[in-house]
Amino acid sequence: MEEWNFPPNYNNDYFPDPNSPYWFRDRETMAPEKRDELIVARIREVMAYAYDHSPFYQRKWDEAGIKASDIRSLADFEAVPVVTKQELRDSQAKNPPFGDYLCCPESDIHHIHGTSGTTGRPTAFGISRRDWDTIANNHARIMWGMGLRPGDTVFVAAILSLYMGSWGALIGAERLGCKAFPFGAGAPGMTARAVTWLGMMKPAGLYSTPSYALRLAEVAREEGVNPREFGIKVLFFSGEPGGSIPSIRDKIQDIYGAKVVDCGTMAELTPWMHASGSADTEGMLLWQDIVYTEVADPNTHRRVPYGEQGTPIYTHLERTSQPMIRMISGDLTHWVMEDNPCGRTYPRLPKGIYGRIDDMFQIRGENVYPSAIAEILEGLAGYGGEHRIIISRSGSMDELAVQAEFDQKVADKGPDAVRELGERAEAEFSRVLGVRARVEMVEPDTFPRTDFKAQRVVDDRDLYQSLHQKRGG
């Protein structure tokens, strides 16, 4: 088998045949049943390793009465208790700074990174030299699958601080033998400078969030540059929904004249590209031999059959410093097992990851995801590119209001065109989502754009509830 060992020890000089679409043909195209057998054996090794090296996993599995040697099938593995983000935070609070799930000596840590969220105690990632190397090899392999090749320029347009996305893209590009350009994002004026540099460097690959790719295109146009002039071949995205949402994906592909590839799961699960589309396959493939993903019932943590929805639960098969074993994401997706156009035999998330279950809201009994609202608006000619979702409570009912920008063309046509667009949006919301939404059309450029992940939901219910409590109601 092509370098499929635990602990991994990749040959950094390896490259596939230049004509092969696969980095590791066997690993990527083997019969799924055969792969599953090998995954079960690997899970036992990874669990035994984690148990031997971490009080965290010892405690957790002793309490559950589970041992590595009990795992004889993927079904057996479903009984292993899940790891939550909160448990990782608690472990780090008690055993600072890396928690008692660190499975290597602290002296082996080669890079420190951390979660990029702004609320609560952040989590530190202590990544060993070996794991850094493994991540680079995994990402190079998946980027090869996207169609990127040695010598290509890869432009990383995302913040290079507390965001694993940028670092993962960077080291994948380096291992692939690309010209890696860690441009970054987030500083004032940086987007306009990105436009200049993209024009100069003409990269084959661009990494960012989908929201930022749209922002970058707007700024390019303001500077009088058509984004197609950048000559980008592949835009690969992570961090938020978008890359697998047809209206958004097609719009971005059209703007740049490039292919969009959706990837990314969670920073803790780096190599986070383990869920990623390929040059020929849309949505996200689950590269199960790198990180084993189960799409599971959010309550029972048991896998759901292919074709159904659930929350992804992830297990590292190649990490040795802070391996995550059955980490629950809290996201929602649905998975299928079909023949993939690229020939890889992995399960697939045809619509990517919809978003966090916590971000879902209920309007009169209907579940609504912010990404579904974005999908509808992006599909409407005349939409100006940004919106806000306001959920408020009137009487005992939740109400949904959407403020959506119209574009300059609609503005030039006048108030009738604006009204007509608002009516079309309302009709689409009720047709597709089954909910009534009040749509307010607002001027182009009303809302600030993001250079990271979009935050569009304004939840008025919290305000309502706190007022209600103060009144003693």
Whichever of 24 and 236 has its CB closer to ligand 8LQ, that residue is 236
The position carrying tokens 């690969």 is: 236
Asked whether position 264 contacts ligand 8LQ by CB under 6 A, the answer is yes
Whichever of 239 and 382 has its CB closer to ligand 8LQ, that residue is 239
Token duo for residue 180: 């890696």
Among 329, 340, 403, 450, interactor with ligand 8LQ by CB under 6 A: 329
Whichever of 124 and 164 has its CB closer to ligand 8LQ, that residue is 164
Asked whether position 262 contacts ligand 8LQ by CB under 6 A, the answer is yes
Asked whether position 28 contacts ligand 8LQ by CB under 6 A, the answer is no
Quick check: 322 and 125 in contact, CB under 8 A? yes
The position carrying tokens 């965290």 is: 56
The size of the interface with ligand 8LQ (CB under 6 A), counted in residues, is 21
For residue 245, the tally of other CB atoms under 10 A from its CB is 22
Whichever of 263 and 402 has its CB closer to ligand 8LQ, that residue is 263
Asked whether position 277 contacts ligand 8LQ by CB under 6 A, the answer is no
> Please, which residues have CB within 8 angstroms of residue 61's CB and are 6 or more apart in sequence?
47, 51, 67, 80, 81
CB of 112 to ligand 8LQ, least distance (A): 16
> Please, which residues have CB within 8 angstroms of residue 472's CB and are 6 or more apart in sequence?
none
Asked whether position 241 contacts ligand 8LQ by CB under 6 A, the answer is yes
Segment near ligand 8LQ (CB under 6 A); pick from 35-43, 245-253, 335-343, 348-356:
348-356
Whichever of 263 and 295 has its CB closer to ligand 8LQ, that residue is 263
Check residue 43 and give left, alpha or beta (phi > 0: left; psi -120 to 50: alpha): alpha
CA–CA distance, 273 with 265 (Å, rounded to integer): 7
CA–CA distance, 18 with 150 (Å, rounded to integer): 9
For residue 40, the tally of other CB atoms under 10 A from its CB is 17
Would the CA dihedral through 196, 202, 203, 209 be positive or negative? positive
> Please, which residues have CB within 8 angstroms of residue 258's CB and are 6 or more apart in sequence?
206, 232, 233, 234, 235
Whichever of 157 and 267 has its CB closer to ligand 8LQ, that residue is 267
Compute the C-alpha angle 446/450/453, nearest 5°. 130
Whichever of 329 and 345 has its CB closer to ligand 8LQ, that residue is 329
Quick check: 7 and 49 in contact, CB under 8 A? yes
Asked whether position 281 contacts ligand 8LQ by CB under 6 A, the answer is no
CB of 235 to ligand 8LQ, least distance (A): 12
Among 283, 352, 382, 422, interactor with ligand 8LQ by CB under 6 A: 352
Asked whether position 356 contacts ligand 8LQ by CB under 6 A, the answer is yes
CB of 316 to ligand 8LQ, least distance (A): 14
Asked whether position 116 contacts ligand 8LQ by CB under 6 A, the answer is yes
For 129-253, strand residue ranges (E) read 153-156, 179-181, 205-208, 234-237
- Residue 99 in 3-state DSSP? coil
Asked whether position 271 contacts ligand 8LQ by CB under 6 A, the answer is no
Which positions from 155 through 194 interact with ligand 8LQ, judged by CB under 6 A? 164-165
Asked whether position 403 contacts ligand 8LQ by CB under 6 A, the answer is no
Whichever of 71 and 260 has its CB closer to ligand 8LQ, that residue is 260
Residue ranges in contact with ligand 8LQ by CB under 6 A: 116, 164-165, 238-241, 243, 262-267, 272, 329, 331, 352-353, 355-356
